């Protein structure tokens, strides 16, 4: 069954992950007042990531839930597909436009991540282009630290699609290290295999805000491995020398 996904979609970052609800906390608009209708599998308790396609509905939900974090956006189906691939096994479902009505949370639609990827969303593709630029420091790769959806601290290696952007961050934070370029899928695959337990994700094009490093988009190493294994990546703007022009919208952006 197709779902009414309209873009952009909006998500709510929270605690290192995204705002989610347990299945027991909401009912589908297609179900009766007591949750009648639908099959038993759909009603088994699980976490579901909250999505909105209407800013006013998102604002109402934020106000009701007391959430002040800014929204992030998924601007295209490809962005949505990459977001879904990055969800952990603990959040296999997404739900659309939860609204509080007469004391109940009513949801327009829900979908399992695996079904979305199999039937409705584009095949994975590396739209941010190569080469990627990383900073190798004495103690390891320049990374961001955050909290994953499981509550554990996680490291994400900072990956830049433009060398000048990395140089800017390096200068602003007075970082010491050697810039490393990953200019081919083979090198990227080798890098992902070598980082081991040092990091669990790549954070793309982080910027310095208020003296702190912040990235609006990241993908897990596992998710990136799957994307590379299951598709032939399309690298926009790459020329024969391996350099790429990333001035256009080549990078996923959830901001």
Strands 178-182 and 132-137: antiparallel
Residue 232 has pLDDT above 80, yes or no: no
Whether 111 and 199 map to the same domain: the answer is: no
Where does a domain end: 120, 150, 184?
120
Answer whether residue 1 is part of any domain: no
Say if residue 145 is in the same domain as residue 87. Answer: no
Q: Quick check: is 75 in a domain?
A: yes
Q: How many domains, the chain? A: 2
247 part of a folded domain: no
Q: Tell whether 105 and 58 lie within a shared domain.
A: yes
Task: Output the pTM of the full model.
Answer: 0.50
Structure tokens at 63: 């106000």
Boundary of a domain, candidates 59, 86, 120? 120
- Of 61, 86, 120, at which residue does a domain stop? 120
pLDDT of res. 36? 54
pLDDT for position 154: 75
Q: Are residues 116 and 142 in the same domain?
A: no
* Main-chain phi, psi angles of 121, to 5 degrees: -105, 155
Which pairing describes strands 93-96 and 109-112: parallel, antiparallel, or unpaired?
A: antiparallel
pLDDT of residue 39: 47
**CA-CA distance, 150 to 106, in Å (whole number)?**
26
Specify the pLDDT at position 230.
55
36/30 Cα distance (integer angstroms): 9
| DSSP classification of residue 184 | S
**What is the 8-class DSSP label of residue 124?**
P
18 and 82 assigned to the same domain: yes
| Domain match, 81 and 141 both | no
Max CA pair span of the chain: 62
Q: Is the pLDDT of residue 163 over 50?
A: yes
Q: How many CB atoms lie within 10 A of CB 7?
A: 13
Query: 């209407």: which residue's tokens?
Result: 54
Q: Are residues 99 and 155 in the same domain?
A: no
pLDDT of 125 strictly over 90? no
Tell me, what DSSP letter sits at residue 13?
E
How far is residue 52's CA from residue 46's CA, in Å, rounded to a whole number?
19
**Predicted confidence (pLDDT) at residue 247 exceeds the cutoff of 50:** no
Answer yes or no: do 106 and 31 share one domain: yes
Determine the structural domain holding residue 188 and report its residue range. Answer: 132-230
CATH of the domain at 158: 3.40.1350.90
Cα within 13 Å of Cα(173), Cβ side: 21
With beta carbons less than 8 A apart as the criterion, state whether 5 and 53 touch: yes
> Cα Rg for the chain, rounded, in angstroms?
20
Tens of pLDDT, residue by residue over 4-49, are: 688 899 999 887 788 999 999 999 998 876 555 554 445 577 889 9
Output the six-digit token pair for 42: 């759909």
């Amino acid at each position: 069954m197709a779902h009414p996904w309209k873009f952009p979609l909006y998500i709510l970052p929270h605690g290192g992950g995204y705002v989610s609800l347990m299945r027991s906390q909401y009912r589908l608009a297609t179900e009766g007042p007591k949750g009648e209708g639908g099959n038993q599998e759909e009603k088994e308790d699980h976490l579901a990531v909250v999505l909105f396609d209407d800013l006013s509905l998102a604002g109402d939900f934020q106000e009701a839930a007391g959430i002040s974090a800014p929204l992030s956006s998924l601007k295209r189906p490809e962005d949505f597909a990459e977001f879904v691939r990055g969800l952990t096994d603990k959040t296999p479902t997404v739900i659309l436009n939860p609204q509080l009505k007469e004391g109940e949370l009513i949801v327009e639609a829900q979908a399992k991540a695996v079904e979305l990827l199999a039937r409705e969303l584009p095949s994975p593709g590396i739209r941010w282009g190569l080469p990627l630029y990383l900073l190798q420091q004495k103690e390891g790769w320049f990374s961001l630290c955050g909290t994953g959806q499981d509550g554990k601290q996680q490291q994400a290696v900072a990956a830049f699609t433009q060398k000048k952007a990395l140089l800017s961050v390096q200068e602003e934070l007075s970082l010491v290290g050697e810039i490393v370029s990953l200019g081919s899928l083979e090198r990227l695959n080798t890098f992902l295999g070598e980082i081991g337990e040092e990091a669990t994700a790549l954070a793309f094009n982080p910027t310095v805000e208020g003296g702190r490093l912040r990235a609006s988009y990241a993908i897990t190493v596992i998710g990136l491995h799957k994307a590379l294994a299951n598709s032939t990546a399309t690298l926009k703007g790459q020329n024969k020398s391996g350099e790429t022009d990333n001035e256009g919208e080549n990078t996923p952006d959830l901001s």
